[in-house]
Structure 1
Amino acid sequence: MALRLGDIAPDFEAETSKGPIKFSEYVKDSWAILFSHPDDYTPVCTTELSAVALSAGDFASRGVKLIGLSANDVASHEGWIKDIDALTGSAGASNVDFPIIADKDRSVSTLYGMLDNLDKTNVDAKGIPFTVRSVFIIDPARVIRLTLTYPASTGRNFPEIIRVIDSLQLGDKHKITTPANWNKGDKVIVHPSVQGEQVQKLFGDDVEVVYPYLRFTSDPSTKKAANGSA
């Protein structure tokens, strides 16, 4: 069965570029992003891992732990990370400070449904499929909140993944949802479950009614920041 939104992210143990891990112990009570790439030492993957490494602070500031995966062994990961560090301009400690799973036997890839069944050229020397570019956003309860799957030929947009995390975290704290093309600081939508006196209680007079079912209000985190600086 394919993993769906709301499922509990399966636990596993694996060797990684940072040593052996148990996924549940690594994640603990944090948000997490598990993302796969087809192969080490490939062009699109190298740009992606560089982008993630340079965005590590953005993820950390949101309490998000990163963990990558590909169908290579640890030695391959360790050598490839040197190329990524050179590309990102690292001068000393590696910019890739998150683990990359060595999933040569495809055990984790199979568990999470990450294998490529479409592109018959995306296989290793034995004809075994590589992983596609999958992304799982997992919350502190280990619930899967987002899944994305990109073809091997297309690099991911990591600012979009950060945008989704901002939306999910804001929605978990406040009775809101976010509209199309929303970015942090933009107006949000009052959750449909908020009705009657609860609207005034939660949002005061800061509600713009377009339709009875579409009501906008300011980003609650922006209002909190403004009140805090007053």
Structure 2
Amino acid sequence: MTLTVGSALPDFEAISSHGPMRLHDWLGGEWALIFAFKAMSPTCSTEFAVLETLHKAYEACGARVLGVSIDMDETVSAWLGDLRDALDCTPSFTLVNDPSGAVPRLLGFIDETASQASLYRTALLVAPDRRIAMTLTYPVTNGRSFSEILRTLKAVELTAQRKVATSSTWTDGQPVMLPPSLAQEQAEAMYPQGVKVLRPYLRIVAQP
């Protein structure tokens, strides 16, 4: 199953690191980051270390964090011990381990072309309406930037609430752009502090 932007997020029940969970109930109408991981992986080890330092920042944005693997609980437990000892990292976000592959497959994380069970290095941002707001897939040899995903989370949260667009380097508090569909007269009424017009399709305002 392939999930793309706008797809409805499937539901599932599982035993997580924080106890039994039903995905849609766990979401609770909040934003969420759901990502695939592989225990005993060098790239995932560094990803977990970084993500744990950013976990509170995700929570401050009203987003929950869930990692999903196809590893056995015992394997993940041993790996988490390694992370604690080697990287001083004790993840506080929720984990689901499903050796059967049912949950990762439901989320589109399984590489069906691999000769052995393997996960794509995929991350999903899920909106409060339980639809996919962003998908990101990296090669297994390259770690994902959870700082960039956090930046994207802030951007999609903003654009979900306001009729604006963000640049490739936008960060929270910086100017934003207006969509071409918004008439200039409306734009000036909505942003009396000023609309900088570089081109009819390229108009910049302060972040609302």
Residue 96 of structure 1 corresponds to 91
The residue aligned with 2:62 is 63
* One-letter amino acid of the structure 1 residue matched with residue 183 of structure 2: Q
Pick the aligned partner of 1:193 from 151, 156, 181: 181
TM, length-normalised to structure 2 = 0.93
Once the two structures are overlaid, the 10-residue window that deviates more, 21-30 or 75-84, is 75-84
The percentage of aligned residue pairs carrying the same residue is 29
Which AA in structure 1 matches 2:128? P
CA distance in 2, matches of 1:133, 1:159: 16
Give the counterpart letter for 2:97 in structure 1: A
How many residues get paired? 208
Q: Secondary structure at the match of 2:16?
A: coil
* Contact kept? 2:196, 2:203, Cα under 8 Å: yes
**Structure 2 unaligned runs (5+)?**
none
* Structure 2 counterpart of 1:217, from 194, 205, 208: 205
Q: CA deviation at 1:74?
A: 2.1
| In the alignment, structure 1 residue 179 sits paired with structure 2 residue 167 | yes
Please list, as runs of the form range in 1=range in 2, the aligned pairs for 1:5-44 lying within 5 A after superposition.
5-37=5-37, 39-44=38-43
What letter matches 2:190 in structure 1? L
Deviation at 1:192? 2.2
> What is the CA distance between 1:77 and its match in structure 2?
2.2
Task: Tell me which residue corresponds to 1:124.
Answer: none
Task: Give 1:99's aligned amino acid.
Answer: T
Question: Deviating runs (4+, > 4 A) in structure 1?
Answer: none
Output the aligned Cα RMSD. Answer: 1.6
Aligned-partner SS, 1:164 = helix
Normalised by the length of structure 1, the TM-score is 0.84
Q: What 5-or-longer segments of structure 1 have no aligned partner?
A: 121-126, 221-230
Q: What residue is the counterpart of 2:100 in the other structure?
A: 105
Cα-to-partner distance string for 1:52-83 (whole Å, 9 max, x where unaligned): 11111110110110000111122322222222
Deviation at 1:193, TM superposition (A): 2.5
Tell me if the contact between 1:17 and 1:78 (Cα under 8 Å) persists in the aligned partners: no
